[in-house]
Structure 1
Amino acid sequence: MTNPSSAATIHGAFVPLRLTDRPLALQAAAVFLGTLFLAASSWIEVPMLPVPMTMQTFAVTLIGALYGWRLGAITVVAWLGEGMLGLPVLAGGGGGLVHFAGPTVGYLFAFPIAAALVGYLAERGWTNGNLVTSVIAMLIGNALILTIGGAVLAAMIGVSDAITYGVTPFIIGAIVKSALATASVEATRRAKQKA
């Protein structure tokens, strides 16, 4: 009988940590470390209004690619839970429910979906050494975040302002962060091959 977690991973995929096949304690440790990485990425911030630019989307897409879709999404949800509880893990060291009711709520809601989507694509071989498909996977994750975040922001401040302030200024950053996430996955893949 086929292992369900292995069946979901197609030949040629590159999810280097293969965490779904590991003991639960190791998966829990990976989730904890992933939330620390997300928090550190959130603290790297360029102040902008109404939404700051951080390295969060870099971390979200990278975790999705390295952890796979299930554990990637779980890690991001755990990090958001820490933020809801008031821990200083969000942009600029913020925390608390106020961040889940303001202009950032759509972006935050989109993060676990983007991590799952990038993880899903990684499990289907998109990040296995082909830099073009890897960058595309990361760009799709970033585009999803901007689309959902921008749509929710549009309901608050109007479509034109949402595009002007909540989408357009982040496009260049999304491209750069997609390239950085691809480079990180590729470096991990090559290191794994040498090991």
Structure 2
Amino acid sequence: MVTDKSVASALGNIQDKPLLWQVGAVLAGTVFLAAASYVEVPLVPVPVNMQTLAVTLIGAVYGWRLGALTVIAWLVEAALGMPVLSGGAAGAHHFVGPTAGYLFAFPLVAALTGWLAERGWSGQRPVLAFLSMALGNAVCLVLGGMWLAVVIGPQDAWTFGVVPFLAGGLLKSALGASLLYALSRRKSPKSE
């Protein structure tokens, strides 16, 4: 349950909505995440895209349970062959390739940012929202980098799978915190 009043107002208490409404929110979240996957800079072995921004926003807006469930639904779509991964990629083989660690980290990232948002790290507290999203990006890089180290070796994993994403992770965290702040300002009446 969301404990911060301004965050609860901004989130619209998605967790308290009827089941059909929540299913619609999950589907909308998977579409948002798929769209973010198409915004990319193709690098090898891991492309730069807007997925982590989408994953952290979904977690912060939906809460930890529904956020993680939404990301898992998106991963299932990908495994079933829907073109929802980076650049429209699809298929189960991505879950054993170089990007597998990042993909498996995404539900944890959504859960982390959602859990923190439920505790006030969102909305009217943009610095905490930024820190929440930065932590989510860090978790993604650590888990993704660890798997990539198994695939291509530790030095190359660090060089190609972590370092190129550090600045982008901070920028996406700032953008995500700004979007949450704007959302909370729009949905919450200003209290004096």
Both structures adopt the same fold (TM-score exceeding 0.5): yes
Q: How many residues align structurally?
A: 188
CA distance in 1, matches of 2:67, 2:168: 22
Unmatched segments (≥5 aa) in structure 2: none
CA distance in 1, matches of 2:130, 2:116: 11
Alpha-carbon deviations, 1:119-151, whole Å to 9, x = none? 000000111412211110000000000000000
Counterpart of 2:17, as a letter, is: R
Unmatched segments (≥5 aa) in structure 1: 1-5
**Which residue does the alignment assign to 2:179?**
184
> Are the aligned partners of 1:13 and 1:123 in contact in 2 as well (CA < 8 Å)?
no
Counterpart of 1:188, as a letter, is: L
> Are the aligned partners of 1:54 and 1:91 in contact in 2 as well (CA < 8 Å)?
yes
How far has the Cα of 1:13 moved from its partner? Answer: 6.3
**Which residue does the alignment assign to 1:122?**
117
**Which residue does the alignment assign to 2:66?**
71
Counterpart of 2:131, as a letter, is: I
Which one of 121, 141, 148 corresponds to residue 143 of structure 2? 148
**Which residue does the alignment assign to 1:164?**
159
Alpha-carbon deviations, 1:32-51, whole Å to 9, x = none? 00000000000111010100
How far has the Cα of 1:19 moved from its partner? Answer: 1.2
Alpha-carbon deviations, 1:94-140, whole Å to 9, x = none? 10011111000000000000000000000001114122111100000
> Are the aligned partners of 1:106 and 1:152 in contact in 2 as well (CA < 8 Å)?
yes
Q: Does 1:61 align with 2:56?
A: yes
Which one of 67, 73, 81 corresponds to residue 76 of structure 2? 81
CA distance in 1, matches of 2:78, 2:4: 36
RMSD over equivalenced CA pairs, Å = 1.3
CA distance in 2, matches of 1:13, 1:136: 18
> Are the aligned partners of 2:56 and 2:113 in contact in 1 as well (CA < 8 Å)?
yes
How far has the Cα of 1:72 moved from its partner? Answer: 0.2
> Are the aligned partners of 2:100 and 2:144 in contact in 1 as well (CA < 8 Å)?
yes
> Are the aligned partners of 1:17 and 1:67 in contact in 2 as well (CA < 8 Å)?
no
**Which residue does the alignment assign to 1:100?**
95
